[in-house]
Amino acid sequence: MIHIGIDPGADGAIAVLDENGKILYRAGFPKIGNKFDPHGLNKIIKKTKQKYPDHNFTLELIGIIFGVSKSSMVSLSKNCGQIEGILIGNECRHAMVPPKEWQKEMWKNIKPIRKASTKRKKDGTPAIGSVNTKATSLLAAKRLWPTEDFLRTERSTKPHDGIIDALLLAEYSRRKF
């Protein structure tokens, strides 16, 4: 069984793992200019399904994200709907998993990295910042694939959040399905 994770974000990605957790493929979404190209992703999904007929796709299910603008949520929801439509249209077996669910599994035994907070509690002590999900996911991914650089291209200088999340979604699928 092959496990494919898809992060539907604005800078989303797709990743493929074999039954042992070895990375077979990973890439940021195809784009036209700076916009997501659903036709390009459709081609990738078709090829992946043909190459690996025994597969399971896991797509991050988008819900309400506090602190994110309405226009960003509309764009994210649109991407998610288009990707689900591509999976259905290609008759791909798939699951949709909320971020909290896959993160809970993938962050086991990892102390979450927190953002700095400028707020103070009523007693004057510093408040604890919210969890930095990107940094915590990178830490989880580095523990699973210590030699992987998670870069989108050879010229990239920092790990690609979409690739990291897509790999963790594929690993979640491998563990749960």
pLDDT at 148 over 80: yes
**Does the predicted TM-score (pTM) go above 0.85?**
yes
Kind of pairing between the strands at 94-97 and 55-60: parallel
pLDDT number for residue 90: 97
What tokens appear for 61 in the block? Answer: 């299910």
C-beta neighbour count of 41 within 10 angstroms: 22
pLDDT number for residue 118: 81
Q: What are phi and psi of 120, to 5 degrees?
A: -125, 150
Q: Is 16 within 8 Å of 44 (Cβ atoms)?
A: no
pLDDT at 46 over 90: yes
pLDDT at 66 over 80: no
| Rounded Cα–Cα distance for residues 62 and 152 (Å) | 23
| Rounded Cα–Cα distance for residues 168 and 162 (Å) | 10
pLDDT at 114 over 80: yes
Element spanning 7, H or E: strand 2-7
Average pLDDT, the chain: 94
CATH code for the domain defined by 2-176: 3.30.420.10
Question: What proportion of the chain, given as a percentage, has pLDDT over 70?
Answer: 98
Sorting pLDDT into bands at 50, 70 and 90, what band is 67?
low
Residue spans per domain, the chain:
2-176
The label of the residue with tokens 């998670």 reads 150
Q: How far is CA 3 from the centre of its chain?
A: 13
| Rounded Cα–Cα distance for residues 127 and 13 (Å) | 34
| Rounded Cα–Cα distance for residues 143 and 146 (Å) | 6
